[in-house]
Amino acid sequence: MKKNYATLFFLVFFLAPGLRSQEIQIFTVQDFDLNGRVKSCLVITDYGRESFEFNKEGILTKTVTQYNDTDQDITYYKYNNGELVERRMESYKNNVLDASTSMANFYEIDTVPQRKVLEKIISYDKEFLEQQEYLYDEEGRLTKITTSNSDGVDETTFEYTPYKNELTTSIFTNGILEKTIRNSERKGPKGTQKVVLTKEYLDGEPNRATEEVFNSEGNLVTSEFFQYDFEGKEFVSQKKLFYHYANGVLDKVVTKTVNTESVESYIFQFDSNEEKNWVKKIITPGNTYTTRVIKYYPKEEPTTESNEG
């Protein structure tokens, strides 16, 4: 288990077809901290519920975010030959479809000479909202996103800089540095760790940063948050989180700042399926809970061929 068991509701924003440039992603059961032949997963918390449906290949096909008895958002994902070709987000208010806030994303893929994807976003009341063109290099890495809408045209470019065992991705918006992401590895007594350092910039000036460290099993072990100090001209740590596991399952998170220290403990209950997905999570001392109702595709029996004759 490698996801730190974060509440799945952050994906409401991340999956929504917002009008901000980001790389196209296809989500699978693993992105939701699920394993195996999952058909659907209903997530219930003390502040709402959300459901996810997957095809037999484990790819996300539908999400439903239920805000109350009459308001909900439903997102559908359509694929062709492993490519996302259509995404529809339908918003219902008082059980009635809101055409002005419901929208469809259509994708056209071209692979010659390099990969290029054209995305068009249109509202259900037939209003054009945005077009995005994604360009990739020979290695399949995203290099540019050109966004066109009523406000004009914006360009987001991606530069990749390797150095020894590091790779830094720099992201620019209209030529102004917005973010850098440095992936590196470091060896320690418990094996090789993966380190992801993300720095964010505001109008080209350093603003804040986050460093995440993952162990050899892929579990997040520390997260440290920094704020930039212009007087000292350096990033200064604000808080650091330490993740502790028991038999690969998150046990507690210790949060430390300069003056404080707090501990959150995690209690999980697992289903009886052989994949052992968790179905209930309780976080103390706040006693917040998350319950998951998981349905599975039936296990396919191996076929046997007769050699009669």
**Residue 62 domain flag:** no
Q: What is the pLDDT of residues 23-77, one digit of tens each?
A: 788 999 999 999 999 999 999 987 789 999 999 999 999 999 999 999 999 999 9
**Residue 243 domain flag:** yes
**Residue 134 domain flag:** no
What residue numbers bound the domain in which 252 lies? 152-259
Res. 14: pLDDT tops 90: no
The residue among 69 and 90 whose pLDDT is bigger is 90
Residues 6+ apart with CB under 8 A from 289: 45, 46, 280, 281, 282, 283
Ranking 16-25, 70-79, 90-99, 207-216 by mean pLDDT, the lowest is: 16-25
The predicted structure's pLDDT at residue 303: 58
The residue-averaged pLDDT of 231-250 equals 96
E strand residue ranges, 102-233: 103-110, 116-123, 128-136, 142-149, 152-163, 166-173, 176-188, 191-202, 205-214, 220-229
Res. 228: pLDDT tops 70: yes
pLDDT level of residue 79 (50, 70, 90 thresholds): very high
**Residue 196 domain flag:** yes
What is the helix (H) or strand (E) element at residue 15, kind and residue range? helix 10-15
**Residue 142 domain flag:** no
CATH number at residue 253: 2.40.128
What total number of domains does the chain contain?
Answer: 1
Burial 106-143 (b: 16+ CB within 10 A, else e): ebeeeeeeebebebbbeebeeeeebbbbbebeeeeebb
**Residue 59 domain flag:** no
Distance of CA 194 to the CA centre of its chain: 18
> How far is the C-alpha of 292 from the C-alpha of 254, rounded, in Å?
25
**Residue 183 domain flag:** yes
> How far is the C-alpha of 170 from the C-alpha of 204, rounded, in Å?
12
**Residue 246 domain flag:** yes
Cα radius of gyration (the chain) = 22
